[in-house]
Amino acid sequence: MELISIDSDADFDYIREFINSLTTAKKVHVWTSGNDVGTEGVFKWMSNGRRVFSNRCHKGQPDNASSNEDCIHFWHLSNVYLLNDLNCNSKSRATNCNTQI
Ligand SMILES: [Ca+2]
Ligand SMILES: [Ca+2]
């Protein structure tokens, strides 16, 4: 299994629409490969090492809440999916998206 990396706004929009189409009844977290495990505050995609763009994050995110959030996921909040950092071990309503784009 490979977690997704997102290289452009167009890819982001495509993936978000895909996630929305799959989870109409129950909104879930969808993990991506983005993380700041290597250097706190510097988020990179695991597969290619490119920086995660921050213009598609929820307001105030990423916030490294409780100094323990290193993994990027799609978070459905205020009726929209945007990115957020979350504890990598969180299992709350989580799923994976390993579709090749
Ligand atoms: Ca972090
Ligand atoms: Ca967060």
Enter the tokens of residue 14: 């495509």
Q: What would the CATH number be for the domain defined by 9-96?
A: 3.10.100.10
d(CA 52, CA 50): 7
pLDDT of residue 22: 79
Cβ < 5 A residues, ion ligand 2: 61, 63, 65, 69, 84-85
- Residue-wise pLDDT tens digits, 51-75: 998 889 999 999 999 999 999 999 9
Q: Is the dihedral of CA 61, 91, 68, 30 positive or negative?
A: negative
Question: Ligand 2 mean position to 25 CA, how many Å?
Answer: 24
Question: Ligand 1 mean position to 69 CA, how many Å?
Answer: 5
Question: Ligand 2 mean position to 86 CA, how many Å?
Answer: 5
Question: Ligand 1 mean position to 39 CA, how many Å?
Answer: 8
Residue 48 pLDDT class (50, 70, 90 cuts) = confident
* Whether the predicted pLDDT of 5 surpasses 90: yes
The stretch 27-43 carries a mean pLDDT of 91
Question: Ligand 2 mean position to 22 CA, how many Å?
Answer: 23
Residue 24 pLDDT class (50, 70, 90 cuts) = low
Residue 79 pLDDT class (50, 70, 90 cuts) = confident
Contact 94, 33 (CB under 8 A): no
Domain ranges (residues) in the chain: 9-96
pLDDT of residue 100: 39
